[in-house]
Amino acid sequence: MTKTVLVVDDDPTQRRLIQAVLERDGFAVAHAQSGDEAIQHLTSGASVDVILLDLVMPGISGQDTLIEMRARSFAQPVIVLTSTGGIDTVVKAMQAGACDFFVKPASPERITISIRNALSMGALKGEVDRLKKHATGRTSFNDLIGSSPPMTLVKRLGERAAKSSIPILITGESGVGKEVIARAVHGSSERAGKPFVAVNCGAIPANLVESILFGHEKGSFTGATDKHLGKFQEANGGTLFLDEVGELPLDIQVKLLRALQESEIDAVGSKRSIKVDVRIVSATNRDLSLAVKEGRFREDLFYRLNVFPIEAPSLRERREDVPALVDCFIRRFNVEEGKSVVGASAETLACLMAYEWPGNVRQLENAVYRAIVLADAPYLQPYDFPAISGVAAPPPEAQATTPIASSPDTVAPPQDAPVRILDARGHLRTLEEIERDLIQLAIEVYAGHMSEVARRLGIGRSTLYRKVREQGLDGLVRSESEVEVEGEAETVAA
C-alpha cells in the first residue's frame, strides 16, 4: 500500500517542494498548514504513516503540536523541520518524541532517506510489540488484520465469547488463521497473560497422544524415564488450543470428554485424578458433523466442543483485506530480512486481490516472504509474484535501457522522466533550464519529427525552431526531408 506522509508547514512553497520530492518516490502526501489542522487531520482517522513537522509556525508551535500528538496517543513517527540547527531545539524535539530532524532546505535524498528510516523504525517497533503480545498471551482482536464484513463478524463473535469460559470451535479451511483467532480469544479474556498452549492433534503419533495431552508418571511404560506433565497441566489457568481436533483417535476422545466435563485428568500410570482449570478452544478444517455420522468422531464430544462455533472466512471471501495483510507482512519481513520495501504497487495489489488463494492467508504470507527476499525496487511489482501474476521479471537489459520509438505513433515514454523540477539541494530549477530539458527530451522521444514535437508541446513550429536556436540544441535537429527519407526507408524494409 502507498505510504502517506503528512507535511505540516505554514509555508505553501515548502509544502509543494516537499510534495514534489515525495510523490516522485511513490509516496502519497497530505497537507496541514498549522498544528491545529494537523491534529484535526489525525483525529479524523485519515491514513498517515509519517509526519513531517515544522517547528516554527504561527499559533501552536511544532513543539507543542508534537507534545499534543503524543498526549493523544498518535504513534506515527515524526520528523521535525527547522530553519536553525540549534542543539537545544533538536534535543527538545527528540525528548518530545521525534525520531529525526533536518534543517531546511534539505536535499531530496536527505528527505527520502529520513522517511524510509522512520518507516523502518516504525515497522521494527510494531514487530517488537507484536512479538511481546504473542509471547505473553495478550494478542487481542484489535491485532487481527482485516475490516471486511466476514472478519468484522468474527471479531464481534470472538470478543463476546472471550468474556466467558464457553468452549469455542473454530472452523474453516487450512491456512485461514484459526490459531490467530484462538490467541485473540485468549488475549481478550480474563486469562490473558496466563499460559496459551497449542497442540496440533493431527501431528501427534497415535501411541503418544494420551501421554502428550494428559501426561504420564515415571516408569508407566517403556521409555518413560521421567514424569511428564502433559498439555492440560501446562495450560492450567490458561487456554488449551486443540488444532485439528477431528484427528484425535476415538479412545482419546473419551478421555477428552471426561476432562471437559469433570475438569480433571488422569495421567498415564497415575493412581489419582488431577484437577485442572483450562479453557478449551478447538479448531478443525473438517466437517465434524459428517465425521459423527460416519462414526469417526463421538457425537457427545462434538456437542461439548461445538458450544460456540466461529467460522473463519477464506481469503477469497475477504479480498478487500488483502492490501492490509500484504502491508502487515511487508513490515514483518522487512524487519526479519533487513529489507526496506515500502509497499506494493497498485497493479500488484489488483493482481493479488483477483487471485483465488487456495492456501488462504498462509499462502499469501509465504508469497510475500518470497517477494521481499527477491525484491530490489521500493515497491513490489507483479513480476515479484510470477506464480500468481504469470508475469516474468524483465531481463536486466530491459530494465537498464528504454527503447526510443522511431515513429510518433509508437512512442514508448521512459520509465522515469529525466526532466527534473528540483536541483540537488531541493530548490526549483529555473524555467529556462526546465524548458531546455523538456525540448531536448521531446526531440529525442519523437525522433526529430519537429512537426510532432511542436504539436505535443503545444507551440508553433517557428516558435519551436527559435527556442531550439536559443537553447543551443541545433545539433539535435534534422531537416524534415531527412526524417521523411528515413521513414520511407523503414517502410520499404518492413
Q: How far apart are CA 208 and CA 211, in angstroms?
A: 5
Query: Does 143 or 472 have the greater pLDDT score?
Result: 143
Q: Does 315 score more than 90 pLDDT?
A: yes
* Residue 470 cell numbers, joined: 536559443
The 10s digit of each residue's pLDDT in 389-422 is 888 877 655 444 444 444 444 444 444 445 677 6
Task: Give Dmax over CA atoms of the chain in angstroms.
Answer: 106
Predicted confidence band of residue 125 (pLDDT cuts 50, 70, 90): confident
Report CA 487 to chain centroid distance, whole Å: 50
Q: Are 331 and 362 in contact (CB under 8 A)?
A: no
* Residue 215 cell numbers, joined: 501426561
Q: Does 236 score more than 60 pLDDT?
A: yes
* Residue 344 cell numbers, joined: 506494493
The DSSP secondary-structure symbol of 128 reads: H
Q: Does 492 score more than 70 pLDDT?
A: no
Angle of helix 480-493 versus helix 450-457 axis, rounded to 10 = 110
Q: Are 368 and 326 in contact (CB under 8 A)?
A: yes
Burial of 163 (0-12, 13-18, 19+ CB in 10 A): exposed
In the numeric block, the cell 470478543 is attached to 159
Q: How far apart are CA 50 and CA 30, in angstroms?
A: 10
> What stretch of H or E contains 343?
strand 343-344
Q: Does 358 score more than 90 pLDDT?
A: yes
What is the torsional sign of CA 256, 258, 263, 264? negative
Q: Are 263 and 257 in contact (CB under 8 A)?
A: no
CATH, domain range 141-313: 3.40.50.300
The β-bridge relationship of strands 274-275 and 264-265 is antiparallel
CATH, domain range 321-389: 1.10.8.60
Q: Where in the chain do CATH 3.40.50.300 domains reside?
A: 141-313
Q: How far apart are CA 35 and CA 148, in angstroms?
A: 33
Predicted confidence band of residue 427 (pLDDT cuts 50, 70, 90): low
Q: How far apart are CA 192 and CA 407, in angstroms?
A: 69
Q: Where in the chain do CATH 1.10.8.60 domains reside?
A: 321-389
Predicted confidence band of residue 365 (pLDDT cuts 50, 70, 90): very high
Q: Does 487 score more than 90 pLDDT?
A: no
* Residue 370 cell numbers, joined: 518470497
- Of the CA atoms within 13 Å of residue 99, those in its CB half-sphere come to 19
Determine the topology of domain 4-132 in CATH: Rossmann fold (3.40.50)
Q: Does 348 score more than 80 pLDDT?
A: yes
CA-based nearest residue to 126, from 367, 371, 338, 329: 329
Q: What is the 3-state secondary structure (H, E, C) of 171-233?
A: ECCCCCCHHHHHHHHHHCCCCCCCCEEEEEHHHCCHHHHHHHHHCECCCCCCCCCCCECCHHH
Q: Please give the pLDDT value at position 24.
A: 84
Average pLDDT over residues 262-267: 91
Query: Does 474 or 242 have the greater pLDDT score?
Result: 242
Q: Please give the pLDDT value at position 410.
A: 43
Q: Does 485 score more than 70 pLDDT?
A: no
* Residue 138 cell numbers, joined: 495478550
Q: Which of the residue ranges 112-126, 233-247, 279-293 would you say has the lowest mean pLDDT?
A: 112-126
Q: Please give the pLDDT value at position 493.
A: 39
Q: Does 64 score more than 50 pLDDT?
A: yes
Q: Please give the pLDDT value at position 453.
A: 83
* % of residues, the chain, pLDDT over 90: 47
Peptide bond into 105 cis (omega under 30): yes
In this structure, the chain runs to a length of: 494
Q: Which of the residue ranges 27-36, 75-84, 262-271, 388-397 would you say has the lowest mean pLDDT?
A: 388-397
The 10s digit of each residue's pLDDT in 21-41 is 888 888 889 999 999 999 999
Q: How far apart are CA 174 and CA 285, in angstroms?
A: 6
The 10s digit of each residue's pLDDT in 161-186 is 999 989 999 999 999 999 999 999 99
Q: Which of the residue ranges 47-56, 115-124, 141-150 would you say has the lowest mean pLDDT?
A: 115-124
Average pLDDT over residues 296-320: 95
Q: How far apart are CA 457 and CA 450, in angstroms?
A: 10
* Residue 477 cell numbers, joined: 535537429
Q: What pTM was estimated for this model as a whole? A: 0.68
Percent helix, strand, coil in the chain (nearest 5)?
A: 50, 10, 35
**Residue 472 CB coordination number (10 Å):** 9
Average pLDDT over residues 111-138: 85
The 10s digit of each residue's pLDDT in 454-479 is 888 888 888 888 888 888 777 666 55
- By three-state DSSP, how is residue 4 classified? strand
Q: Which of the residue ranges 11-25, 108-122, 394-408 would you say has the lowest mean pLDDT?
A: 394-408
Chain mean pLDDT for the chain: 85
Q: Are 99 and 125 in contact (CB under 8 A)?
A: no
Q: Please give the pLDDT value at position 376.
A: 85
Cβ-count burial 207-227 (b if 16+ within 10 Å, e if not): eebbbbbbbbeeebeeeeeee
Q: Where in the chain do CATH 3.40.50.2300 domains reside?
A: 4-132
* % of residues, the chain, pLDDT over 70: 88
* Residue 393 cell numbers, joined: 521479471
Average pLDDT over residues 242-260: 94
CA-based nearest residue to 53, from 7, 114, 5: 7
* Residue 458 cell numbers, joined: 503545444
Predicted confidence band of residue 488 (pLDDT cuts 50, 70, 90): very low
Torsion of CA 85, 86, 88, 90, to 10 degrees: 0
Q: Does 86 score more than 60 pLDDT?
A: yes
Q: How far apart are CA 195 and CA 337, in angstroms?
A: 30
Q: What is the DSSP string of 58-83?
A: SSS-HHHHHHHHHHTT----EEEEES
Cα separation of the two ends of the chain: 45
Q: Are 168 and 281 in contact (CB under 8 A)?
A: yes
